[in-house]
Structure 1
Amino acid sequence: MALYDVVDYDVLVIGAGGAGLRAAVEAAGAGVSVGLICKSLLGKAHTVMAEGGIAAALSNVDERDNWCVHFTDTMRGGQYLNNWRMAEIHAKEAPDRVKELEAWGALFDRTRDGRILQRNFGGHKYPRLAHVGDRTGLEMIRTLQDHAIHQKIGVHMEFTIIGLLKEGAAGGVGLSNDGGRVVGALGYEREKGRWFVFRAKAIVLATGGVGRAFKITSNSWEYTGDGQSLAYHAGADLMDMEFVQFHPTGMVWPPSVQGILVTEGVRGEGGILLNNDKRRFMFDDIPELYRNQTADNEEEGWKYTQGDREARRPPELLTRDHVARCIVREIKEGRGSPHKGVYLDISWIKDKIPHAADHIRKKLPSMYHQFMKLADIDITKEPMEVGPTTHYIMGGIRVDADSQMSTVPGLFAAGECAAGLHGANRLGGNSLSDLLVFGKRAGEYAGQWAREHGQGAIDDAVVDSMMRRALEPFERVQGENPYQVQYDLQEMMQDLVGIVRKEEELAEAVLQLEKLKERMGRVAVHGNREYNNGWHTALDLFNLLTVSEAIALSAIRRKESRGAHFREDFPNKDDKNGKYNLIVRKGADGQMQVVQQALAEMRPDLVKLIEEMK
């Protein structure tokens, strides 16, 4: 079988976005050796695409904000399916993580008196998002990367991990892995195709989301569900996989840029949503849950946007799931824009404030250039066309709230590939503070685990089995085109497991997934392992099909509409369905199982807090 190099670390971090970098920094700071795996180049992680800001109750713009309000907003947005302990930790620790990032050199936008400026965002009661124009994720990665280079971290760029190795495990990729703790990972160098075994006492997964399972997505090419799939096949539990967030505003035209994110910051700075009658349709459907917080008319909503603390927020800043469904309704009922979207207009503020064009270019520089260069639209003068795009998955690897360790000993997860914090729906801006808060915790506890445990033994037969399976596509002279299989998967998921779901379509999706798995087994690639994108795509299919099956099976099982999961055949929330999470795990027969897990009882003081906030 192919030869491989062996590299040893105390802690191996797989993924170099915000969560991975923060975990690596924390573990290295604790004195253990750390390796960092990048699927692309360092600094190119999808976190750089995050635009709106970092949610943290700093109270710089509105002194009424505090961790209690942030906690309550997060729980309400997640429809109370959140892991309440994670929501508590997140709300309490996010301000310190933002101040820490500032101390490390992040250049946030400022209030007039020099404090970190915060903007309004969907689902947040008060202005809470610390931001750097609309390039916050880029500044976060720049700062973390600059801080990390002063640590002794081994960086492996353009590597892909295809399997986790466990002590005493038998079998390989795609087989039940019933051994004990995790002790390493098998991967390959994408440029040359060389194999590497990374031995580690603890592993942190920080690989991001699953957006590339869908046709229209804001996610970058790396988001193929690697971490979720690696954890699942190593025996870890997944949770809440039915909850896929479709961001309300992605570009819809021209086709070459379809799905690229249009930040919620546009609406936070005063952008309004219009149908083809030029009417603000979001006033038509304000949920009772948010009616006392939401503007009833355009003038009241504008005052809130400009910082009038007594006014109520515009309905464009309701939670993302609600806004996305309202946009779909307008399109389906024939009130959409020419390219099957709606209009998002920030140019209307020219009638409200002086020098509006300069204000827009200052607050939303990336959006201005994005539309000018990609769609030939000047957003200071005319509206944008936007529509929903697959953006984020609330579900992922089930972790302990405090330590971020999965159900597999020594395997930790943080960021989008972990589940629990967001429940049924994530609030905008909570993702970046999630990366900082739980990236730090994952790195801290992984380092602690590594100090307390020795290096476990790796079974060469397991490594050999994994490599042999990964190389099978080269052995087929003729077979399926991996790009075509991926395209068909994305179209199927978009059509059958998208924003609006129903039983017969979900059942059809499960059948289609079985056929796609058969086709994956017939995929053929040509050439050798160097620079072979066809081979990379063939290997990505395994992860994409794993997470797609988890999403579809969980969506069938949850027979209600809650948060980002909307069932046309069960359009209402059901109290009994709001008392459990859905857990996905691999059965002894290798088949995927979905089981209910009752929600942990919330601490009485937090129950009282939520009641008081209502």
Structure 2
Amino acid sequence: MSSDIPDRDEPCERAYETVELGVLVVGAGAAGARTAIELVERGVDPEDVLVIGKRSHGDAHTTWARGGINGALGTHDPEDDWTVHAADTLREGHFLNDPEKVQTVTRRMPPALRELDDWGMAYSRTADGGIDQRYFGAQSFRRTAFAGDHTGESLLETLIGRARELSVPYRENVFVTRLLADDAGERLLGAAGFDTDTGEFVLFEADVVVLAAGGYTSLYERHSSRDDENTGDGPALAYQAGARLMDVEFVQFHPTGMVGDRYGEDWDGRLVTEAVRGEGGRLFNAEGERFMERYSPDQMELDARDVVARAIDREVREGRGTEHGGVYLDISHRDRDFIRERLPRMYERFADLGVDMAEEPVEVAPTAHYGMGGILVDGTGETDVDGLYAIGETMAGVHGANRLGGNSLAETVAFGAVTGEAIADRLLSGASDGVDRSRLHDLARIHFEDLRGLADTDGTHDPEALFDGLRGLLWEHAGILRDGEGLSAGLDALADLRMRASDLEVGGPTSRSFEFAMNLGFALDVAEAILRGAAARTESRGAHARTDHPETDPEWRRNLIVDRDSVGAMRLATRPVDDPSEAVQAALDAGYELDYHQLE
């Protein structure tokens, strides 16, 4: 994207910078980039758009999504189509998904994959030059397009390249701390934050704000993100502004995160892509047993992620795990050249750590990887707050109770286009004209004064230490296996942690402690939503496994909604899930299913 940013007011008596624009996109990963591209392609002036990120441009979590991106191209399996993709997505989501959103993604992805190809996406290719596709867990056919095992990185490079061609502005190292709405909480007025390099406060006067800020799995002790990513900013910002959240209790634990002293703390929990299993990798316990034969003899290692993760957890709990609490993932039966070609990043990473994947297994264990829940939005990505949109992992609805591997990147691309189209129509029709922002600067000054006070706090507790405590709390009380007693204890522990968070020792606005203090404020709300939602949902479904309620309850085929009551306390409600369309229901009735043994 272009490094030029829109014109802004010079700092004046307000002691903060003001930026006026039409659309502020918060989050510089694939979802944010694709939204900005769609806006400009549909006629919005690039100078009226700004994409901002908390980190350096191009350093988004998208780059860590390695395995692939789904779309029913039928490269190898011509019987595949979008309805089967939708059926697989609904089954994997245990029918808690929003069928309309699932259909939006699955119908749009075949042409979206070809569009990315036109923009220069570095796909792996078949012998005749087509876009290659591989198996991913719980998918009926080979529909996961890929670029080796660096698909997310290649996708983001492609989108950034296209955005630069369109002169889309961006700004790095900006942390959004508050969304500002009118006094009724019905219309968004703008967003407030600070420059993490200079500490200067920034106010964005925006007709529309798009939250594309990722998810919340970094709130867990073992997670596949970097520590300063996926800390719940997006859902918390929207919730605090008056929007509702949905299904936040559903947290996907990817079966294969790195574990073991051999790899070091910096790599603990980092993802070993599902592509390793998609290319034939096998799981063994410490006794040398290929244990998935006990749990899923038909789909084996490529069963749903929740199934494989719980199987690994059980092997470890019953004493058949490694000394580091994991199992072994082995692809050494494949040729070295095959591994290097299909899994180049994984091969290089482990080689750098002294492990030859062509000769020996790697050690893995489940790691918090993806939040299926998020902000409740309509079919275009708009929240309850007029002018506030959410897309990507920040929004809820596509994935239900468990995400189908390869659908995260697909969602960012599909809904980036959908939301960009809707916002462009809104702006070009003048629907956002005439918004009274007279209250905006009053709210901003109050908020910035609060931030100044926080930056000068000389209290008792270190924000980073409390954040680490929160991670341990969620891992213990709302992890792979849950029960009512543990969730109740978790809520009590969270209340104590929230009390300690009111007495912080914080450095200036450019300090690491100030950023962690902001992260902690967001994390406390999202953690409470996870715990309360998991306690309320008295069944086991997908990634939510209750040992005291082990069965799936048909009465609980309902979305769980989180909002704030009149005094600001968290409140829960439920709503029924819609039925799929006739075309998707026909695909469900046909009973397509992955035959793992084609890989043998």
Among 183, 188, 192, the alignment partner of 1:182 is: 188
What's the CA shift string for 1:445-483, capped at 9, x where partnerless? 122223321144143221122222223333333321111
Which residue pairs with 2:6 in the alignment? none
Among 525, 531, 535, the alignment partner of 2:506 is: 525
- 2:136 and 2:579 mapped to 1: Cα distance? 29
> Which secondary structure does the structure 2 equivalent of 1:360 belong to?
helix
- What one-letter code is carried by the residue in structure 2 that aligns with 1:126? F
Among 550, 553, 557, the alignment partner of 2:536 is: 557
Q: Percent identity?
A: 39
> Which secondary structure does the structure 2 equivalent of 1:582 belong to?
strand
Q: Are 2:590 and 1:612 aligned?
A: yes
Contact 1:165 1:185 in 2 (8 A): yes
Among 310, 324, 332, the alignment partner of 1:339 is: 324
Which residue pairs with 1:300 in the alignment? none
Q: Are 2:572 and 1:594 aligned?
A: yes
Which residue pairs with 2:473 in the alignment? 492
Contact 2:92 2:404 in 1 (8 A): yes
* Equivalent runs, 1:453-472 vs 2, <5 Å: 453-454=432-433, 455-457=435-437, 458-472=439-453
* Equivalent runs, 1:99-110 vs 2, <5 Å: 99-110=114-125
Deviation, 1:503, is 0.5
> Which secondary structure does the structure 2 equivalent of 1:510 belong to?
helix
Contact 1:201 1:449 in 2 (8 A): no
> Which secondary structure does the structure 1 equivalent of 2:341 belong to?
helix
What's the CA shift string for 1:62-101, capped at 9, x where partnerless? 1111111101000000000000011111111111111111
- 1:410 and 1:10 mapped to 2: Cα distance? 10
Q: Are 2:218 and 1:212 aligned?
A: yes
Which residue pairs with 2:200 in the alignment? 194
Which residue pairs with 1:228 in the alignment? 235
Deviation, 1:162, is 0.5
Q: Are 2:4 and 1:4 aligned?
A: no
Which residue pairs with 2:10 in the alignment? none
Q: Are 2:259 and 1:252 aligned?
A: yes
* Equivalent runs, 1:17-416 vs 2, <5 Å: 17-32=29-44, 33-166=48-181, 168-169=182-183, 178-220=184-226, 221-254=228-261, 255-256=264-265, 257-286=267-296, 295=298, 314-349=299-334, 356-374=335-353, 376-401=354-379, 403-416=380-393
- 1:588 and 1:600 mapped to 2: Cα distance? 29
TM-score normalised by structure 2 residue count = 0.93
- 2:368 and 2:161 mapped to 1: Cα distance? 31
- What one-letter code is carried by the residue in structure 1 that aligns with 2:393? E
> Which secondary structure does the structure 1 equivalent of 2:333 belong to?
helix
What's the CA shift string for 1:317-358, capped at 9, x where partnerless? 001000000000000001011211000000023xxxxxx011
- What one-letter code is carried by the residue in structure 2 that aligns with 1:529? P
Q: Is the deviation greater in 178-187 or in 600-609?
A: 600-609
> Which secondary structure does the structure 1 equivalent of 2:308 belong to?
helix
- 1:548 and 1:199 mapped to 2: Cα distance? 30
- What one-letter code is carried by the residue in structure 2 that aligns with 1:459? L
What's the CA shift string for 1:175-229, capped at 9, x where partnerless? xxx3321121001100011011111111111001112211100012221111100
Contact 2:69 2:408 in 1 (8 A): yes
TM-score normalised by structure 1 residue count = 0.91
Deviation, 1:48, is 0.3
Q: Which runs of 5+ in 2 are unaligned?
A: 1-12, 593-600
Which residue pairs with 1:298 in the alignment? none
Which residue pairs with 1:509 in the alignment? 490
Among 400, 408, 418, the alignment partner of 1:431 is: 408
- 1:456 and 1:447 mapped to 2: Cα distance? 21
Count of equivalent residues = 569
- What one-letter code is carried by the residue in structure 1 that aligns with 2:31? A
- 1:163 and 1:478 mapped to 2: Cα distance? 23
- What one-letter code is carried by the residue in structure 2 that aligns with 1:469? D
- 1:52 and 1:602 mapped to 2: Cα distance? 28
Q: Which runs of 5+ in 1 are unaligned?
A: 170-177, 287-293, 296-313, 350-355
- 1:126 and 1:94 mapped to 2: Cα distance? 15
Contact 1:203 1:446 in 2 (8 A): no
Contact 2:375 2:396 in 1 (8 A): yes
- 1:470 and 1:601 mapped to 2: Cα distance? 46
What CA RMSD, in Å, does the superposition of the two structures yield over aligned residues?
1.4
> Which secondary structure does the structure 2 equivalent of 1:162 belong to?
strand
What's the CA shift string for 1:37-84, capped at 9, x where partnerless? 111011000000111000100000111111111010000000000000
Deviation, 1:165, is 1.4
